[in-house]
Amino acid sequence: MAFNKESNQRRFLFALDLDGTLLANSATGDIHPKTESAIKRAVKEGHIVSIITGRPWRSTMPVYEKLGLNAIVGNYNGAHIHNPADPFFIPTISYLDLNEVLYILGDEKVKKEISNYAIEGPDWVQLMHRDPNLEKVFGFNQATKFRECINLEKLPLKPTGIVFDAKPTTNVLELLTYLKRRYGDLGEFSSWSKGEGLSPVFDITSIGVDKGKVISLIMRYYNINIDDTVVIGDSYNDLSMYEIGNVGVAPANAEPLIKQLSTVVMKESNKEGAVGHFIDAFLDDPEKFIQMGRDKKKEEQKNVKTVKADSFHTKEEIEASAKAFED
């Protein structure tokens, strides 16, 4: 269904993560019937449904086509922004510096947690070694130029992203925090699940790349009011979406931090069609959830102001503290 992006019709934006969120099963690409029907309803009614994922386009395309989507897609967490339904949309691609990436991967603390990794661009991939679980999600062998090994002598200098599989024992939050603190000037780091019972995935993209920025672009492109935005995700690479969107939703299987930031926490998981249940409920009564989103944002802003006020000290308090220290 084609539509005019300049339309005056009120449209809502549903920005959706794939793995652990829209997909009921990442390995097979299954979509819960409730989620499929609700998304198709939203598209039919003229709303914007955008996939924003850490996956590349080649493994996103089957989902996009099955759902009959027609809007902007953010791949590699936003390092590749494009619109498959609009040949006149100019894609945005953010590249990494290969030397800086190899420097990060050579860190002993990082290296000992890596079990496999891939370096890739929009049409090429070099993979350390074959892994069916990783390939089911990323579809490496579908790339135009696929190489099973990392050949540094024949590697483009500007990859769009690095994906590495961590060990089942890896402390995800600890490693993610370390990467951001140690190498935050070289890239953006995120982590997400490629499926239940499988080891976590980490990815590295260019500075400034995150899912939230894709949502900002989409809002402007389709002229959507900030209040009319819904974001649904489940893991750490989705955090930036909740800073931008008005209504934040978490499926039952989401990370605790995502639930904390969400306006609505679903009782259903991704396997039970959480995305579909929420989209139908939202479309039936959008103002209810939009107001809930506004209230949540106001509460967050109030808490920030309270923290700032609590951290402020008068001249008298500072002098009293100094005197107590001297005594």
Burial class (CB in 10 A: 0-12, 13-18, 19+), 21: buried
Angstrom distance (rounded) from CA 302 to CA 51: 31
**Out of 17, 203, 210, 238, which one is annotated catalytic?**
17
Q: Which residues pair with 191 in a beta bridge?
A: 202
Number of other CB atoms surrounding residue 84 within 10 Å: 17
Angstrom distance (rounded) from CA 174 to CA 108: 15
Angstrom distance (rounded) from CA 89 to CA 50: 15
The upper half-sphere exposure of residue 146, i.e. CA atoms within 13 Å in the direction of its Cβ, equals 12
List C-alpha distances in Å: 52 to 5, 29, 69, 182, 300: 19, 16, 13, 26, 24
Number of other CB atoms surrounding residue 257 within 10 Å: 15
Angstrom distance (rounded) from CA 265 to CA 234: 11
User: Are 31 and 67 contacting, i.e. CB atoms less than 8 angstroms apart?
Assistant: yes
Q: In this structure, which amino acid lies at residue 322?
A: A
Pick from 195, 198, 202, 196: nearest CA to 173: 202
Contacts of 182 (CB under 8 A, 6+ apart): 107
Sign of CA dihedral 29, 219, 230, 308: positive
Q: Token digits for 26?
A: 């990442």
Angstrom distance (rounded) from CA 19 to CA 250: 13
Is there a catalytic annotation at residue 86?
no
Kindly list the catalytic residues.
Answer: 17
